[in-house]
Structures are given as C-alpha cells and as structure tokens.
Amino acid sequence: MALSPLPYFIVMRQERLHNPLFLFTILMLTMGSLFLFVDEDNTPIVNYGLAAIASMFGSTYIWLTVQRQRTARRGVLIGDSLVGLTGEVWVAIEPFSNGSVRIEGELWRARSEENIPAGSTVRVIREDGITVTVMKVEAISKERHK
C-alpha cells in the first residue's frame, strides 16, 4: 500500500489513456487495504464487502483525478484559453482563497484578490492549470473608465 503512489505518479507523467500502471495502482491500493489490518495469524480482519466498496470509491476518485489532470494538460497543449471568457461565481471567492466559477458549462477552481459573492459575473484574467484567476466584471469596467 505504501508503494501504490509510485505507479500513480508515473501514470500522471505519461500520455497513454489506458495505462496498465493505472490499473496496477488501483490493485495495489485494494490489496494493501485488505492486508493492512491482520490478526495474530496474519489473517485479514476486514469486512470484504466494505473493503470492496471503499476500493470502488478510491478507484473512482483516482480515475477522476487522472482524467481531470489530463484534460487540463490537453487544454494547455492545444492552446485553448479561458482568458477573457466570462462566467458566474458558483462558490463565493474570498481574497487569496479558492472558490469556483462556471465557465461555458464547466466548473473551475477560481481565486481572486477581492471578495466575490456567489452569483456574480466574472472575467478570467489568468489561467494556471485547472485554476483560474478572475476579476468581477464591474471592477473591470470601473478600471477602464479611470
């Protein structure tokens, strides 16, 4: 179980969509969790059904993480940019803290130097992987009129 992050990090660096190391990571986590708690005879003392459910949730989380990272990387390589697009704040953004915005139907992690309540319209001013830096639309128009 302690070694399971190693193939995961290797998978994250490769471009192949169906990498056997990804399945190996999930298998290592599952087997490691089964043998993490043993009795004096080295027999697993876990509920196999609960271990299977936990492994499915863990596998789903790993799968979504890998897909999200690949999507973010692919967007940067293709040249698609969110800079200049407007969106709506989904989760309020506090100064120098993360919130989320909906841009073209997708949720993105967002940050700002100002407090922006949920429901406000914002414009993307910078993109950094899967995090965007936004500014409230009214604030942009006020700066232009100065």
CB 110 within 8 A of CB 132: yes
pLDDT tens, position by position, 33-72: 777 788 888 887 888 888 888 888 887 887 777 777 766 6
Render pLDDT for 1-19 as a digit per residue (tens, 0 to 9): 566 667 666 766 666 655 6
0.85 exceeded by pTM: no
Q: Where are the domains of the chain?
A: 5-78, 86-145
74-129 pLDDT per residue, tens: 544 334 578 889 999 999 999 878 899 999 888 899 999 999 999 999 999 988 88
Q: Which CATH class is domain 86-145?
A: mainly beta
